[in-house]
Chain A
Amino acid sequence: MNSWRIPWRATVWRPLLAHPAEAFLAILGVALGVALGLAIALINVQAVQDVSSGLRRLAGQADLVLSRPGTHLGERWYARLAMAPGVAVAAPQLRVNGILPNGRPLPVWGIDALQSAALGQPIVPPDSGHPSSLFNPLHLVLDQSALRLLHLRPGDHLILRAAGVPRRFTIITAIPDPIPGKPLAILDIAAAQWLWGENGKISQVSLRLGKGMTPEHFRSRWLTLLPPGATLRTPRDEGSVSARASLAYRTNLLVLSLVALFTGSFLVYTTLAFTAIRQRRSLAILRVLGLCEREVFVAILVQGLLLGIPGALVGVPLGILAAWLALAKMGANLGAGYFSATGTDLSAHPWLWSIFALAGIGSALLGTVWPAWECRYLPIVRLLGPGSEEEEGHAHVLSGFILLALAGGMAAMPPVRGIAYGAYSAIAVLLLAVLFLLPQGVRLCGRVAPRTELPLPRLVVDQLRGSPGRASRSLATIVVAFSLVVAMAVMVGSFRESVAGWLRDVLRADIYLQAGTGGQRLFPLATETRLCRLPGVRRCSLLRDSVLQLLPHRPPVELLARGMNPQQPGKTLQILRAATPDPTGPPPAWISEILAALGHWKPGQTIDLPIGPKGHLVRIAGIYRDYAYQQGAVTLPFSEYRRWTGHRRANGLALWLRTGVPVPRILEKIRQRFPHSSDWQIATPGEIRQRSLRIFDHSFAATYALEAVAMIIGLLGVSNGFGAQTLLRRQEFALLRCLGLRRRDIRYLLLGEAVLLSLLGVLAGLAVGLEVAFLLIERVNPQSFHWHMGIHIPWSEIFLLALALVLASTFTILWSARKILGRDTEPLHDDG
């Protein structure tokens, strides 16, 4: 390295050490970016890892698992597969829900311990090597999570309601959590069938294949023979299905987390740009003494490294800590509901750590490149001359416009494997373009600013007009940060408004009832007729929801059978596109926007629904808006569903009341006439709306954290920028004092500049942010999640954010300039 002949102390150390606070803030910014990105990446990896390793562990040594999502299988399928050639061991399971005394459901798995033990599944009590004690139908095994949840110990009793009947179980032993963090009860499969009234039913069969049989071969032989909707998957498939389902969500979160890193590189840019300016003379002298351009470039890059490396080193542990805290507090789903079964144990991922450490260093280098490049290319004479910080930037404007065009092109790119890489790159390029266009923008503002003869305002405007480059350097970080904040706010606001509007549109009944929280719970027959006969009730409608394995390699979709008028689907659903009615075709079904995109289906098309014993053809009569089911949904009239499956009972009911009938009166009557109604969940549309929006807000928790960190980094940038700037302007202030301005006047001058620049930064950020929001709403969301939304700009929220930012930024500017103001007299020199 010494062959570079770079005087390290003069070119690298001293400029940084001269302003340790600035260097510290830049390092902090990088660290925050690294920490946030790493935390989100770690949580994502953990979530997927937990889900798939849990599935693999659960399966034991099973090669394949037969199941039929949303419904049970006949037990004869177990008998058939167990006796099939090529099968060594087959272990059946019946999964049901027990209701705890507090009304909450507890998953209960009925197992054949002999077969599960042969498969090595971690659901068999290890008790004295023999599972026979589980043969007693009132013996129950709980996992550690359930024991903790219920404050019980082996030997205790637990009253659990099975199919509505309370049963007193004895907890014979405990097992480690088969799925980390998921409370679970295990009993004998015969007992599960008996006590839950599910005789003849099983939920799944795990298979271990014998010699010479591969999962692929076995699957190809059996798949066509299985009932519709049944799947035969390897444990690895199960993991990858869940991973694929959440891929878009995880990638988007990860890309957004990089935003903070990106803001960090703007902070490094601001810091080093000013360091470079202050350093120009010494650099020029070194150039005269024989340092070549390349060496100057490298020296400045090394400054960037010196900010990036400690930033990365601090950021990585900080990120691990943040991930750990978030997992402990929120669980790995970050409130978005993609991962239902995850633990809080964070495992070590040295690879991820190093990737984010490198990304942090890289972001710092990215912020260094431009200042370094500028120093390298400026002619020595100009570098030596006084007042040399301001340079013309027409070339920059051109680059800015080229980048803008590039962003436009990228935005038009189609998604790659469900991820909107194009749109994301467009956002990054757009923000880079800001860097190039900002000086010209500031200059333009200076030019159009009204001329005034009042000395202080005039000084403020002249300052802006005279050194737009300096101003824009200070502003770069805050513009980027605010544009991202605006983009998120607009995107989340639009989404929220669309969801709220959709909820208003969809929830048209007056009272909604659910048979229970456990998905398998149903209303007794004829409940709806009895409810409908209550005085004051005008109409009532049924809902039965279950799941359906419709798309291969995807999680099951939601099947909603509801009491609806097939002629007027718009009364129940928010129809986006409808097919022309075809009375001669197959019966109608409506699919959600997401399902249409996932399955590439269009209105009028005929699809095969795996319902009932044979499956049924339906015609897609329309596509409707649905924000509730991320994996897609199908809606059918209840009458068809009943005809096809024979299921007559519903798990949801909606009631419409006669005009003028108060809701509480009906609720009171329901309570009186239906003794079981204490198990039901009864809600008004308002309550459902409230709850849904609360869940919605939870799911954007990660986004809010991101916004906050971006804002903080932006403010750090402002602080560094203005801190450096006021130092550079020491002689200017000294001159102004000599000219008779009081210290108070200088303070006013700075205040004016601060407000003006903050306003400018916020306005620029707003403009860019709206564009980014547009990209997020129109490109990223439809491409990644297949949902569309209207654009609703939450002006009041943005106004408040802008106000907060202007205040914070003004305060930051004044705070960073306090050093200058604190000194009473500054000697007036002829040079800086």
Chain B
Amino acid sequence: MMAKKWQLLAILGISAQGVVLAAPLPPNILPRLPTPAATVESTHPMRFPNAFGSHPRFPLEWWYITGWLKNSGGSPIGFQLTFFRLRMAEIWANPSAFNPRQIYFAQAALGDPAIGHLLTAQRAARAGLGLAGAKRDTSRVWINRWQLCQQGQGYIASVHARRLAYHLHLFTIQPPLPEGPEGISQKGPNPVNASYYYSIPQLRVEGEIRIRNHPWQKVSGHAWLDHEWSSAYLPEGAVGWDWTGINLKNGGALMLFRMRGANGSVLWQAGTWRHASGRVQYLPGSAITMQPLRHWQSPESGNRYPVVWKIRAGSLGFTIRPLMKNQEFRATRSTGNIYWEGAVTAMRAGHSIGSGYLELTGYGERLHMGIGGKRRKPTHAGPRTILAK
């Protein structure tokens, strides 16, 4: 019996060895895989449910959830969860499961005014071995045990880190909102700079969070989801952008952004206003003014961010004020960027008309991340891609 078992093992062993030996070494010039040059084209409008899934033919994609929570005591807490997917500019035909074809980053934050600054956590991983990835048919993106997952009538967002953790259910109340005609959001005067972009505003949130070592606490609130993918995001000459997404109290939703040049000039701005009635109004740059009222300088990075704004969007005028001033996110451990990403309230005549998030990027240095080795000259469809939304 024993001898037979050995014989069997020997056969298995030898065949296994054969497989190992057959694994050929790569040729002298290492072969590469083609990297498809998918671009945003008006001839290819965004379509659901395809839009929910991942779009690996595009070099850059993200899922972004921001929102306001309240604990049982009624104190407001801001939260953010972002997953980035980056496709490498050069991909080798390496059969290894570790082959870095796609890299994922995740950034999570909780903004508790009782703490006074953001609690943040970051993850980075290459796709492979099931440890990080994104599904193509549904919104499901994960790095280890962090995930954002479309499920039933909504999403689940889970984050586990030393300083913070949360497990949230986000219920869809309203249909997705394409952030431009055909779901294409123009990012600059050159038509090349555009993205496919939709939001799901007015998500209802239920779940629990852990702040530092405190026990888990139940929370509820509302959130905003963005999903955007592109091959050329930042227009030439732009160093960053200011973005805000507000869930209006009357059920409406407003998204505004502007691209800034190095001298602070506005290269492009646009917005989308979905009225409470459901009517969608795409706002051209001429219909928008965004005027910084007050700045806050970060003692850590030295960056100076405009955190209070006076805004006019179409017929809507209001001021946005932050939940707290210090909502700077230093993502040096994942994408390498430093930006301000914080909970804000929209105020008109002393009353809140809505709440959401404000994002301010490129206040330190131009947003960038070189992928694929040496820094090359920026090309629109090239490897130089933009991170941190």
B162, A211: Cβ atoms closer than 8 Å: yes
- A-chain residues with CB within 8 Å of residue B349 when the two chains form the complex: none
B336, A130: Cβ atoms closer than 8 Å: yes
CA distance A706 to B251 in the complex (A): 89
B333, A643: Cβ atoms closer than 8 Å: no
B97, A136: Cβ atoms closer than 8 Å: no
CA distance A410 to B69 in the complex (A): 76
A79-B373 contact in complex given A191-B94, A525-B21, C-beta closer than 8 Å: no
Distance between B124 CB and nearest chain A CB, rounded to angstroms: 4
CA distance A646 to B9 in the complex (A): 8
Distance between B239 CB and nearest chain A CB, rounded to angstroms: 18
Query: A139: which of B144, B336, B373 is its contact (CB, 8 Å)?
Result: B373
Query: A136: which of B21, B24, B95, B373 is its contact (CB, 8 Å)?
Result: B373
**B96-116: which residues lie under 8 A (CB-CB) from chain A?**
96-100, 103
**A637-673: which residues lie under 8 A (CB-CB) from chain B?**
642-648
B100, A118: Cβ atoms closer than 8 Å: no
B98, A193: Cβ atoms closer than 8 Å: yes
Distance between B243 CB and nearest chain A CB, rounded to angstroms: 24
B129, A79: Cβ atoms closer than 8 Å: yes
- A-chain residues with CB within 8 Å of residue B10 when the two chains form the complex: 642-643, 646
| A135 adjacent to chain B (CB < 8 Å) | yes
- A-chain residues with CB within 8 Å of residue B373 when the two chains form the complex: 132-133, 135-136, 139
A646, B16: Cβ atoms closer than 8 Å: yes
Q: Interface code B116-132, partner A: CB below 8 Å = 1, 0 otherwise?
A: 00000001111001110
Query: A646: which of B14, B28, B90 is its contact (CB, 8 Å)?
Result: B14
A643-B131 contact in complex given A117-B333, A130-B336, A195-B26, C-beta closer than 8 Å: no
- B-chain residues with CB within 8 Å of residue A190 when the two chains form the complex: 94, 96-100, 126
A75, B94: Cβ atoms closer than 8 Å: no
Q: Interface code B1-34, partner A: CB below 8 Å = 1, 0 otherwise?
A: 0000010011011101100010111101010000
Q: Interface code A494-519, partner B: CB below 8 Å = 1, 0 otherwise?
A: 00000000000000000000000000
A133, B26: Cβ atoms closer than 8 Å: no
> How many chain A residues touch the partner (CB < 8 A)?
47
B13, A135: Cβ atoms closer than 8 Å: no
A137, B124: Cβ atoms closer than 8 Å: no
Distance between B159 CB and nearest chain A CB, rounded to angstroms: 12
Distance between A585 CB and nearest chain B CB, rounded to angstroms: 11
> How many chain B residues touch the partner (CB < 8 A)?
48
A82-B333 contact in complex given A114-B126, A137-B94, C-beta closer than 8 Å: no
| B88 adjacent to chain A (CB < 8 Å) | yes
Distance between A618 CB and nearest chain B CB, rounded to angstroms: 13
B125, A132: Cβ atoms closer than 8 Å: no
| B372 adjacent to chain A (CB < 8 Å) | yes
- B-chain residues with CB within 8 Å of residue A211 when the two chains form the complex: 162, 213
- B-chain residues with CB within 8 Å of residue A78 when the two chains form the complex: 129
- B-chain residues with CB within 8 Å of residue A165 when the two chains form the complex: 25, 28
- B-chain residues with CB within 8 Å of residue A136 when the two chains form the complex: 90, 372-373
Q: Interface code B253-277, partner A: CB below 8 Å = 1, 0 otherwise?
A: 0000000000000000000000000
- A-chain residues with CB within 8 Å of residue B30 when the two chains form the complex: 137-138
Query: B144: which of A82, A117, A194, A645 is its contact (CB, 8 Å)?
Result: A82
**B15-57: which residues lie under 8 A (CB-CB) from chain A?**
16-17, 21, 23-26, 28, 30
B100, A135: Cβ atoms closer than 8 Å: yes
Determine the residue in chain B with the shortest Cβ distance to A139.
B373
Distance between A673 CB and nearest chain B CB, rounded to angstroms: 22
A643-B26 contact in complex given A88-B162, A112-B126, A135-B88, C-beta closer than 8 Å: no
A648, B130: Cβ atoms closer than 8 Å: no
- A-chain residues with CB within 8 Å of residue B332 when the two chains form the complex: 129
- B-chain residues with CB within 8 Å of residue A114 when the two chains form the complex: 103, 124-126
A193-B96 contact in complex given A76-B129, A135-B88, C-beta closer than 8 Å: yes
**A83-138: which residues lie under 8 A (CB-CB) from chain B?**
83, 88, 92, 112, 114-115, 117-118, 129-130, 132-133, 135-138
- A-chain residues with CB within 8 Å of residue B126 when the two chains form the complex: 112, 114, 190
- B-chain residues with CB within 8 Å of residue A129 when the two chains form the complex: 332, 336
Distance between B152 CB and nearest chain A CB, rounded to angstroms: 24
Determine the residue in chain A with the shortest Cβ distance to B131.
A82
Chain A interface (Cβ within 8 Å of chain B)? 75-76, 78-79, 82-83, 88, 92, 112, 114-115, 117-118, 129-130, 132-133, 135-139, 162-165, 188-191, 193-195, 197, 199-200, 210-211, 525, 612, 642-648
Which 10 A-B pairs give the minimum distances between C-beta atoms? A646-B13, A190-B98, A190-B96, A79-B129, A193-B96, A114-B124, A135-B100, A194-B94, A646-B17, A643-B10
